[in-house]
Amino acid sequence: MTSELRAVRPPGQRVWLLTAPYEVPRAESVERRPWGMHHVRRDGSSTTVCGVSASAWVTFWTMDFRPLDRAACPACASAFARHTPSAQS
């Protein structure tokens, strides 16, 4: 079973975006990965679901927010679960 939760939306359109204040330095990894606490925001919003301004943060367009990840912001994980229909099952 996966800890990944996604809202239903037509293919190619993301509802939730993973964001973090930093990205792992290129010297450490060739893959784009968040560094620090992972947050989630709605597409089109510059504020995370926990209320933090993320306008200057890195967005990880191809990664999903995983609320059970140890780096996930607890407040974002809780709010994400409340706003995501699939979290109710």
The better pLDDT of the pair 23, 87 is held by 23
Q: Does residue 48 fall inside a structural domain?
A: yes
Please report the pLDDT score of residue 58 as a whole number.
Answer: 93
Whether 7 is in a domain gets the answer no
Q: What HEC string does 11-71 produce?
A: CCCCCEEEEECEECCCCCCCCCCEECCEEEEECCCCECCCCCECCCCEEECCCCCCCCCCC
pLDDT, position 14: 66
Give a yes or no: residue 64 inside a domain: yes
Number of structural domains (the chain) is 1
Please check whether residue 4 lies inside any domain of the structure.
Answer: no
Encoded tokens for 50:
């926990």
Residue-wise pLDDT for 33-67, tens only, equals 899 999 999 999 999 999 999 999 999 998 999 99
pTM above 0.85, yes or no: no
Give pLDDT tens digits for 66-83: 999 999 999 999 999 888
> 80 in a domain, yes or no?
yes
In a domain, 28, yes or no: no
Does the pLDDT of residue 17 top 70, yes or no?
Answer: yes
Whether residue 6 lies inside any domain: the answer is: no
In a domain, residue 3? The reply is no
Q: Which residues form the domain of 73?
A: 16-22+33-88
